[in-house]
Amino acid sequence: MQTHEIARRFTDHFTGTGHTRVASASLILDDPTLLFVNAGMVQFKPYFLGDAPAPYPRATSIQKCVRTGDIDEVGRTTRHNTFFQMAGNFSFGDYFKEGAIEHAWRLITSSTSDGGYGLDPDRIWVTVFHDDDEAAGLWQRIAGIPAERIQRRGMADNYWSMGVAGPCGPCSEIYYDRGPQYGREGGPVVDEDRYLEIWNLVFMEKERAAGGTKDDFPIIGELPAKNIDTGLGIERVAYLLQGVDNVYETDLVRPVITRAEELSGRRYGASHEDDVRFRVIADHARSGVMIIGDGVTPSNDGRGYVLRRLLRRIVRSSRLLGVQEPVLGAFAEVVRDEMAPSYPELVTDFERISAVVRAEEEAFLQTLTAGSRIFDVAVADTRRAGGTTLAGDQAFQLHDTYGFPIDLTLEMAAEAGLTVDQDRFAALMTEQRTRAKADAAARKTGHHDGSVYRPLLDAHGTTTFLGYTELAAEGTVVGLVVDGAAVPAASEGQQVEVVLDRTPFYAEAGGQQADHGVLRTGSAIVRIDDVQSPVAGLRVHRGTVEAGTVAVDDAVVAEVDVARRASISRAHTATHLVHAGVRGALGTAAAQAGSLNAPGRLRFDFTSPSGAVPAAALAEIEEEVNTKLQENREVETYETSMDEARRLGAMMLFGEKYGDRVRVVDMGDYSRELCGGTHVARTGELGIVKVLSEASIGSGVRRVEALVGNDALRQVSTEHLLLSQISDQLKARPDELPDRIAALVERLRTAERDLEKHRADAALGAAGALADGAEDVAGIALVAVAAPAGVSGNDLRALAADVRGRLGDRPGVVALFGTDGDKVSFVVATTAAARDRGLAAGKLIPAFAPAVGGRGGGKPDLAQGGGQNPAGVPDAIAALRSALAAG
Ligand code: SER
């Protein structure tokens, strides 16, 4: 049975039994505890917690999921996918254990002609939480599963939670026995490869707090209702029903392997090592494309880093399969074709997706080239120091600066006959991770755990936002939080978070910075410098009590800092105009990837299919935007249905979760976007928009920065002033400056080259004097000296050869030492007559090299080496002299 058919039957089964079909959420949901959506229940979390009323009593979805915790297992086991589809049915206080078990049993065991999966009931095993007699009894009664195929397990296996604060509950898992050829008897507690888990039924009835371990975490109470959350792994069912050996060979994944076989000329199934590579490619290609589809671009942290790692592992695996040319575009096409029936947006967005993978591959290939050079130097250093282990610091630098995966470093080191200090590398990685975690925690202080805010939401409902029309308003304090705990009052000097029933303050969202301002009660003043929305619907004002004491239930006048707000609104409107301008100039593949609207300035990030935006195009965008200001267009905002907004062609962001009603910001036919931000009334209020720069901020993503209004004007004046100063200094008109500066730079270059040549000539010119100064040591003409300053490398060799030539047919030895900082290099040359007497240059080195802390080698006529002790040069010369004297 094809994967799409498995999904279709699941949906049909549940919509046929009163479940509302809900579309998959984006892989990126606004949940600070999650990098990617990793279970079907994530989008329903507020309904389980009672933060929002469930719009339907029962629902079903096929959710896109990404889990990368076991990335190293991919391709090595039969069942680890980084991307998979979780089919689920959910009950919000409707049916409970009995209903969940009945539904699951019917779907998996009904015959295929009856719309089920037709699994053999006798091969099904289940697990239940150790004290869940009720579930065990239901499995016996409803499904007739004998007691010996019902196994009990503890917290770690059969009590499900998201691993963080949130809903949780005991669960019951359904397994299918693949048969004795796949492992030992004894059920899932003995062998999870033979007994394959396909479906997890969670009896979601409790709430947990953060902390604890997987098998012991704090449970803080009951959820408002008893709910059901189930998750069936579509790929796993496909793997069973299609009779293949693992999840990588199922119908939607295997075609990538086939493409990799074509590109590499190697065959899947021929060697274990190659097979793992083929499967890594197939798995990662799919997750990579799906993640990019939801708007993520490769970067060095967070989601972008996970994506980068996935894509780079594909490129790397392909190299190891012997493919040299770019591969990502080809694999992305296969994924698109396989996944499009369920995700048609992959087709419409494909230009953007392939631009992102192409740019990342190009960047990685450059990395490989640059990193390989650094690697070669590191190997040479290690060898020169007589070591066999590459330093952990070097491996870390390769990883951190050049994006070299550690397995690549390990492999290349092995090829060079070296090992790598992996302990040190791991220690540095841990240090870096700890730093990153601390950074993330600092950014989101107090925001991880919504438990302090949720009671406020329960008691008072959402904060009414008045700020589209009002900048000052009366309200009531409904909650105060100090240091993460609810308090009845806060007094002068304290940092406080204030929740009001209604507010004109805009909370940071959609790239628009938060409002600042003051809250005044009869007796207190609180200065607000941040506003956030840590739980959906609640606006939390953060600030300092400047005077008096503020208490819950106080009446407040909330006043927004009007100048700051106006300036931010101008920037936000300007961002929409720049967005429209960029798309007009570059086409619709230039999709918004992020933005910042701050007082007087903006940043707009977008995926660029064709790399850097040429300066001329940027100037045109700027001019077009300013024309729209002069047209003084009306900026209209209105609410409408999502369908209508789509029909109007409003731009929306990838990965954003919109409700059924959306707010549109409309500047006529030029710009129309879904947006919750604040804007000016007419474009003329912006005055002027000045684009400052355009640059890359990561693979395929460009950033435009611009200033708005007086900030733009000040920038123009400052630049004008600078230009006048330079013009004065160079005594040229501004329009002559580019030529003038180019000419100056050229003259400087020529002068530097001449100087360099003179220096080299002078140094080489010393050859005659050096040869004349040869001393006689036991009948041998010896020139052993420190070379003139600045002579090293090729010059040193050339000078030695020149001096040797001037010794003619005398037996002669020339040894020159060049020093550079704390390094010494030396060259030894012998004349033919000296060699006739058995003096070989390479053999002379051990006699004196230890004095400069070094070594070297070479041929009888010319040898060289280096050391670390410049102070030892006189000793080295003396040692050479004695060696010759001793014959
Ligand atoms: N939330 C559960 C899981 O992810 C069931 O959907 O396994």
Residue predicted with more confidence, 61 or 608:
61
Asked if the model's pLDDT at residue 657 lies above 70, the reply is no
d(CA 133, CA 7): 31
Please name the residue that has the structure tokens 């990502």. 328
Centre of ligand 1 from the C-alpha of residue 852, in Å: 67
pLDDT, one tens digit per residue, over 614-627 is: 889 999 999 999 99
Backbone angles phi and psi of 732, in degrees to 5? -145, 155
3-class secondary structure, 409: helix
Backbone angles phi and psi of 727, in degrees to 5? -60, -40
d(CA 788, CA 162): 70
Centre of ligand 1 from the C-alpha of residue 116, in Å: 21
Q: Is 174 close to ligand 1, i.e. is its CB under 6 Å away? A: no
Average pLDDT for 706-734: 92
3-class secondary structure, 388: coil
Q: What is the pTM of this model?
A: 0.58
Sign of torsion over alpha carbons 395, 400, 402, 403: positive
Residues in the chain: 887
In angstroms, how far is CA 787 from the centroid of its own chain? 52
pLDDT at 33: 72
Burial status of residue 121 (CB atoms within 10 A of its CB: 0-12, 13-18, 19 or more)? exposed
**Residue 679, marked binder:** yes
Q: Which of 67, 161, 230, 234 to mutate to test the pocket of ligand 1 (most atoms within 8 A of CB)?
A: 230
Q: Is 88 close to ligand 1, i.e. is its CB under 6 Å away? A: yes
Report whether 591 contacts 607 (CB < 8 A).
yes
d(CA 333, CA 353): 10
In DSSP terms, 663 is beta-bridged to 639
Backbone angles phi and psi of 681, in degrees to 5? -85, -35
- Name the DSSP class of 699: T
Average pLDDT for 338-355: 92
Residue predicted with more confidence, 371 or 680:
680
Q: Is 41 close to ligand 1, i.e. is its CB under 6 Å away? A: yes
d(CA 317, CA 336): 20
Name the nearest CA neighbour of 814 among 795, 827, 798. Answer: 827
Sheet holding 812-820, edge to edge: 775-777, 780-786, 812-820, 823-830, 862-867, 854-858
pLDDT at 447: 42
Centre of ligand 1 from the C-alpha of residue 230, in Å: 6
Determine which residue's CA is closest to atom 4 belonging to ligand 1. Answer: 39
Asked if the model's pLDDT at residue 145 lies above 60, the reply is yes
Centre of ligand 1 from the C-alpha of residue 293, in Å: 23
3-class secondary structure, 327: coil
Report whether 339 contacts 349 (CB < 8 A).
no
Name the nearest CA neighbour of 164 among 114, 212, 111. Answer: 212
**Amino acid, single-letter form, for residue 665:** V
d(CA 590, CA 35): 24
Sign of torsion over alpha carbons 672, 678, 679, 680: positive
Indicate the range of 71-75, 343-347, 370-374, 517-521 predicted with least confidence: 370-374
Q: What angle do CA 213, 214, 219 make, to 5 degrees?
A: 75
Q: Is 275 close to ligand 1, i.e. is its CB under 6 Å away? A: no
d(CA 32, CA 641): 28
Backbone angles phi and psi of 742, in degrees to 5? -60, -40
3-class secondary structure, 219: strand
Asked if the model's pLDDT at residue 645 lies above 60, the reply is yes
Name the nearest CA neighbour of 277 among 251, 249, 257. Answer: 257
Q: Which of 200, 206, 234 to mutate to test the pocket of ligand 1 (most atoms within 8 A of CB)?
A: 200
Average pLDDT for 442-470: 77
pLDDT, one tens digit per residue, over 243-273 is: 998 999 999 999 999 999 999 999 999 999 9
pLDDT band at 364 (very low <50, low <70, confident <90, very high): confident
| Distant-in-sequence, close-in-space partners of 263: CB < 8 Å, separation ≥ 6 | 318, 321, 323, 325, 327, 330
**Amino acid, single-letter form, for residue 388:** T
Q: Is 872 close to ligand 1, i.e. is its CB under 6 Å away? A: no
Name the nearest CA neighbour of 570 among 690, 698, 737. Answer: 690
- Most confidently modeled range among 116-125, 717-726, 856-865: 116-125
Q: Is 700 close to ligand 1, i.e. is its CB under 6 Å away? A: no
Average pLDDT for 452-465: 89
Indicate the range of 130-144, 357-371, 425-439 predicted with least confidence: 425-439
Backbone angles phi and psi of 768, in degrees to 5? -60, -50
Q: Is 201 close to ligand 1, i.e. is its CB under 6 Å away? A: no
Please name the residue that has the structure tokens 């962001």. 653
Q: Is 230 close to ligand 1, i.e. is its CB under 6 Å away? A: yes
The token pair at 757 is: 């040549």
| Strand extents, DSSP E, 467-570 | 472-482, 485-487, 489-491, 495-500, 502-503, 517-520, 525-532, 540-547, 549-551, 555-560
DSSP 814-877: EEEEEEETTEEEEEEEE-HHHHHTT--HHHHHHHHGGGGTEEEEE-SSEEEEEES-GGGHHHHH
pLDDT at 32: 67
In angstroms, how far is CA 396 from the centroid of its own chain? 18
Q: What angle do the packed helices 710-730 and 737-764 form, to 10 degrees?
A: 50
Indicate the range of 42-51, 389-398, 403-412 predicted with least confidence: 403-412
pLDDT band at 381 (very low <50, low <70, confident <90, very high): confident
Q: Which CA distances in Å does 262 have to 74, 179, 338, 401?
A: 22, 34, 17, 34
- Name the DSSP class of 141: I
Average pLDDT for 626-649: 92
The token pair at 260 is: 């990799």
- Name the DSSP class of 773: T
Report whether 462 contacts 454 (CB < 8 A).
no
pLDDT, one tens digit per residue, over 801-834 is: 999 999 999 999 999 999 888 889 999 999 999 9
pLDDT at 73: 84
Instruction: Tell me the Cα Rg of the chain.
Output: 36
**Residue 65, marked binder:** no
Asked if the model's pLDDT at residue 755 lies above 80, the reply is yes
d(CA 5, CA 8): 5
The token pair at 276 is: 């793992």
Mean pLDDT across the chain:
91
| Distant-in-sequence, close-in-space partners of 2: CB < 8 Å, separation ≥ 6 | 238, 251
Report whether 314 contacts 335 (CB < 8 A).
no
pLDDT at 444: 44
pLDDT at 467: 96
**Residue 80, marked binder:** no
Q: Which CA distances in Å does 652 have to 295, 506, 628?
A: 11, 21, 21
pLDDT band at 761 (very low <50, low <70, confident <90, very high): confident
Report whether 533 contacts 507 (CB < 8 A).
yes
Report whether 571 contacts 601 (CB < 8 A).
yes
Average pLDDT for 550-570: 96
pLDDT at 212: 84
Asked if the model's pLDDT at residue 376 lies above 80, the reply is yes
Centre of ligand 1 from the C-alpha of residue 39, in Å: 6
Asked if the model's pLDDT at residue 551 lies above 80, the reply is yes
In DSSP terms, 828 is beta-bridged to 815, 863
Average pLDDT for 5-25: 96
pLDDT band at 442 (very low <50, low <70, confident <90, very high): very low
Centre of ligand 1 from the C-alpha of residue 168, in Å: 10
pLDDT at 446: 41
Centre of ligand 1 from the C-alpha of residue 61, in Å: 12
d(CA 380, CA 370): 16
Report whether 434 contacts 528 (CB < 8 A).
no
Residue predicted with more confidence, 200 or 324:
200
Q: Which CA distances in Å does 781 have to 776, 777, 830?
A: 5, 6, 10
pLDDT at 443: 44
pLDDT band at 440 (very low <50, low <70, confident <90, very high): low
> What is the number of the ligand 1 atom nearest to the C-alpha of 202?
5
C-beta contacts of 617-624 below 8 A and 24+ residues apart: 617/585, 617/586, 618/691, 618/694, 618/704, 619/691, 620/585, 621/578, 621/581, 621/582, 621/584, 621/585, 621/691, 622/581, 622/689, 622/690, 622/691, 622/706, 624/581, 624/584
Q: What region does 289 belong to: left with phi over 0, alpha with psi -120 to 50, or beta? A: alpha
Per-residue burial over 564-597, b = 16 or more CB atoms within 10 Å of its CB, e = otherwise: bbbbbbbbbbbbbbbbbbbbbbbeebbbbbebbb
pLDDT at 448: 42
Centre of ligand 1 from the C-alpha of residue 183, in Å: 26
Q: Is 43 close to ligand 1, i.e. is its CB under 6 Å away? A: no
In DSSP terms, 208 is beta-bridged to 166, 219
d(CA 86, CA 439): 32
Centre of ligand 1 from the C-alpha of residue 370, in Å: 43
Q: Is 511 close to ligand 1, i.e. is its CB under 6 Å away? A: no
Centre of ligand 1 from the C-alpha of residue 160, in Å: 7
**Residue 675, marked binder:** yes
Average pLDDT for 147-169: 94
Element (H, E) at 136: helix 133-138
Determine which residue's CA is closest to atom 6 belonging to ligand 1. Answer: 231
Q: Is 202 close to ligand 1, i.e. is its CB under 6 Å away? A: yes
Element (H, E) at 551: strand 549-551
Average pLDDT for 543-553: 95
> What is the number of the ligand 1 atom nearest to the C-alpha of 162?
1
Element (H, E) at 124: strand 124-129
d(CA 627, CA 619): 12
Asked if the model's pLDDT at residue 308 lies above 70, the reply is yes
pLDDT, one tens digit per residue, over 205-245 is: 999 988 888 888 889 899 999 999 999 999 999 999 999 98
Per-residue burial over 331-356, b = 16 or more CB atoms within 10 Å of its CB, e = otherwise: bbbbbbebbeebbeebeebbebbbbb
Average pLDDT for 495-521: 95
pLDDT at 436: 66
Q: Which of 31, 202, 203, 227 to mutate to test the pocket of ligand 1 (most atoms within 8 A of CB)?
A: 202
d(CA 220, CA 2): 43
**Amino acid, single-letter form, for residue 385:** A
The token pair at 117 is: 């999966």
